[in-house]
Amino acid sequence: MQRMSDAIRETLRALPHFHGLDLELFERVVVCAESRTFARGDMIFLHGEEARAFFVVRAGSVRVYRATPDGREQVVHHLRAGQSFAEPAVLSLGRYPVNAIALESRTELVAVDSRFVELLKQEPRLSVAIVSSLSMRLLGLVERIEELAITSAPARLAHYLLKLPAKDADRHLVVQLPLAKKDLASHLAIAPETLSRLLRRWQDRGLIRSKGKTLELLDTRILLAIADRDE
Amino acid sequence: MQRMSDAIRETLRALPHFHGLDLELFERVVVCAESRTFARGDMIFLHGEEARAFFVVRAGSVRVYRATPDGREQVVHHLRAGQSFAEPAVLSLGRYPVNAIALESRTELVAVDSRFVELLKQEPRLSVAIVSSLSMRLLGLVERIEELAITSAPARLAHYLLKLPAKDADRHLVVQLPLAKKDLASHLAIAPETLSRLLRRWQDRGLIRSKGKTLELLDTRILLAIADRDE
DNA sequence: GACGCGACTTGACCGCGGTCAAGGTGATTT
DNA sequence: AAATCACCTTGACCGCGGTCAAGTCGCGTC
């Protein structure tokens, strides 16, 4: 079990929350954590459930979303390796306000349970780090809200593509979609058909080249104009 | 100046951040705070400026917004008496990520400056309180995301109206719009014309009665159905 | 009270994007 | 390799809601 424990350490150490923590204190955090594995489609927690732990993604990916009365869902977050979620539920709310589902088979999470809250109350160094990282989370959500407030579908998509981490190829950018297109559509609050049509139109106009999840952005100037058009 | 200081105490005491703080510690927070008065249209801070303080509204109101390249602006928050803003900028970022402007003449704010951060590092009780209140703020933003995910204009409006603080009149509810209708339209991401037409249609159907910023909700059952229809 | 300006309303028009339906194209399973 | 299933694409349709334009209302100022 020592190897398992090392994996937990590695995952937690990389988290902004625990940057610069001395070893002794860090070990007291590690004690609160355990590793859990999920299959594709497994629910990690449900809206309204008692919040016993927050999570860090070690492998795979997770969708955090809110279900709406008519059965559709709005994505709040997509999480990949190294990212954490559900801290507020544990630290303050007591219940999960959203749903979380594993998107890939062999999605591995580190669960940090409520003993961590006790630690927090005693250790100012720890809580300052948490305050700071919750603040960052807040800003992220504000940006997400701004994205969604962009009314036109093309502007939302262009905005999204330009924010993706890109590799420079000669004279243009190459990006990888981190999601299946249907999930991306849901993230952008548009129909999958619309996403498909937009990509095709832009490809016909020579703005992009699209092959599976790999996109080449050939004319960022025009894409920028589209993103700004009505944001 | 004693009266000024009392006003600051009163404002801060009402803030969720400082609930249940003992008097001695609370006084050490008060020392970090000062009162500032703004006229209608005064900028409180600008995007990119160094974040020296966060603010609590004592009187008047404030709009927090982001300017977009084409000169329009996206409202992030509207703040009224008793609400605070810009904590993340001070606690983590170091710079303001948005603009803030006073909307009314005699808008009075309490500014809590960066000495507060030092306090936070020393006092676990304080940071636990802050963690908790940032968590609540996060939850509010998640709900805002859910609101934006509601695609149809009528559903968004109905949802909004039903969430307003209401006074019971006999057999129906009376609510006050806290914003000018054009600003409300912008908040709901719809055109002012659409807002106008919706209110008229509902009035014709006997669902509401509308006079200026005062609305009577005559049939909340149907309004609820509209709000849920496609959220 | 008359004026002026901004907020609000109403009408006419039409394009964006959602829905339904029917293929096509992979990928994983057996 | 065949079968199966999920994902993606494309076409046809149409209603919601945005835009433009022209008033009307309401409020503060002089």
Q: Which residue has the higher pLDDT, A187 or B231?
A: A187
Verify that B112 and B190 share a domain, yes or no. no
Instruction: Name A169's bridge partners.
Output: A172
pLDDT at B231: 45
Domain boundary among B131, B149, B167: B149
Task: Flag if A120 and B128 touch (Cβ within 8 Å).
Answer: yes
The span from the CA of A94 to the CA of B142, in Å, is: 16
The span from the CA of A208 to the CA of B192, in Å, is: 36
Domain that holds residue B162: 153-227
Q: Which nucleotides of C are covered by protein (CB under 7 A)?
A: 7-12, 16-21, 27
Contacts of B148 in chain A (CB under 8 A): 145, 148-149, 189
Closest CA to B164 of B182, B187, B189, B142: B187
Verify that B131 and B169 share a domain, yes or no. no
State the virtual CA torsion across B12, B13, B14, B15 in degrees, nearest 10.
60
The span from the CA of A100 to the CA of A53, in Å, is: 13
User: Which of B91, B93, B125 faces A131 most closely, judged by CB atoms?
Assistant: B91
The span from the CA of A125 to the CA of A26, in Å, is: 11
User: Which of A88, A132, A228 faces B138 most closely, judged by CB atoms?
Assistant: A88
Which one of B66, B119, B127, B187 would you mutate to disrupt binding with A, by most A Cβ within 10 Å of its Cβ?
A: B127
pLDDT at B157: 94
Q: Å between A37 CA and D3 C1'?
A: 31
Verify that B142 and B167 share a domain, yes or no. no
User: Which of B74, B97, B127 faces A139 most closely, judged by CB atoms?
Assistant: B97
Task: Flag if A97 and B137 touch (Cβ within 8 Å).
Answer: no
CATH of the domain at A158: 1.10.10.10
Q: What angle do CA A107, A52, A135 make, to 5 degrees?
A: 80
- Look-up: residue for tokens 């802050």? B130
Q: Are A174 and A162 in contact (CB under 8 A)?
A: no
pLDDT at A93: 85
How far separated are the first and last CA of chain B, in Å rounded? Answer: 52
Q: Which stretches of chain A score pLDDT less than 70?
A: 1-4, 68-72, 230-231
Helix (H) or strand (E) holding B3: helix B2-13
Dihedrals phi, psi of B103, to nearest 5 degrees: -95, -20
Q: Are A207 and A200 in contact (CB under 8 A)?
A: no
pLDDT at A72: 67
Contacts of B78 in chain A (CB under 8 A): none
**In Å, how far are A1, B172, B219 from B222, measured between CA atoms?**
58, 13, 6
Verify that B18 and B125 share a domain, yes or no. yes
Residue A27 is given by DSSP the state: H
Helix (H) or strand (E) holding B31: none
CA distance A112 to chain B (A): 17
CATH of the domain at A35: 2.60.120.10
Contacts of A96 in chain B (CB under 8 A): none
Verify that B216 and B110 share a domain, yes or no. no
Verify that A168 and A116 share a domain, yes or no. no
Which one of A135, A139, A152, A190 would you mutate to disrupt binding with B, by most B Cβ within 10 Å of its Cβ?
A: A135
Q: Which residues contact A200 (CB under 8 A, 6 or more apart)?
A: A210
Domain boundary among A98, A121, A149: A149
pLDDT at A3: 62
Task: Flag if B93 and A139 touch (Cβ within 8 Å).
Answer: yes
Nucleotide closest to B198 measured between CA and C1': D17
The span from the CA of A134 to the CA of A126, in Å, is: 12
SS3 state at B219:
coil
Q: Å between B208 CA and C10 C1'?
A: 19
Verify that A89 and A198 share a domain, yes or no. no
Dihedrals phi, psi of B131, to nearest 5 degrees: -55, -45
Contacts of A137 in chain B (CB under 8 A): 138
The span from the CA of A148 to the CA of A3, in Å, is: 42
pLDDT at B189: 83
Which one of A73, A87, A92 would you mutate to disrupt binding with B, by most B Cβ within 10 Å of its Cβ?
A: A92
Mean pLDDT in chain B? 87
pLDDT at A121: 84
B17-76: per-residue pLDDT in tens? 888 888 999 999 999 999 999 888 888 999 999 999 999 999 888 888 877 655 556 677
Q: Which residues contact B132 (CB under 8 A, 6 or more apart)?
A: A91, A92, B16
Domain boundary among A130, A149, A168: A149
Q: Is the pLDDT of residue B151 over 80?
A: no
The span from the CA of A174 to the CA of A166, in Å, is: 5
AA identity, residue A199? L
Q: Please say whether the dihedral angle defined by the alpha carbons of residues A84, A127, B95 and A150, taken in this order, is positive or negative.
A: positive
B99-138: per-residue pLDDT in tens? 898 888 788 999 999 899 888 888 888 888 888 888 888 8
AA identity, residue A143? E
Q: Are A91 and A53 in contact (CB under 8 A)?
A: no
The span from the CA of A73 to the CA of A95, in Å, is: 19
Verify that B181 and B193 share a domain, yes or no. yes
B166-211: per-residue pLDDT in tens? 888 778 899 999 889 998 998 888 999 999 999 999 999 999 999 8
Q: How many domains does the structure of chain A reveal?
A: 2
Q: What angle do CA A18, A23, A29 make, to 5 degrees?
A: 55
Verify that A12 and A89 share a domain, yes or no. yes
Verify that A135 and A160 share a domain, yes or no. no
Contacts of A228 in chain B (CB under 8 A): 68-70
pLDDT at B178: 87
Verify that B124 and B11 share a domain, yes or no. yes
Verify that B124 and B72 share a domain, yes or no. yes
pLDDT at A31: 93
CA distance A3 to chain B (A): 33
User: Which of A97, A136, A229 faces B92 most closely, judged by CB atoms?
Assistant: A136
Residue A17 is given by DSSP the state: G
Instruction: Name B166's bridge partners.
Output: B175
The span from the CA of A105 to the CA of A174, in Å, is: 27
**In Å, how far are A25, A49, A81, B36, B160 from A18, measured between CA atoms?**
10, 27, 16, 37, 39
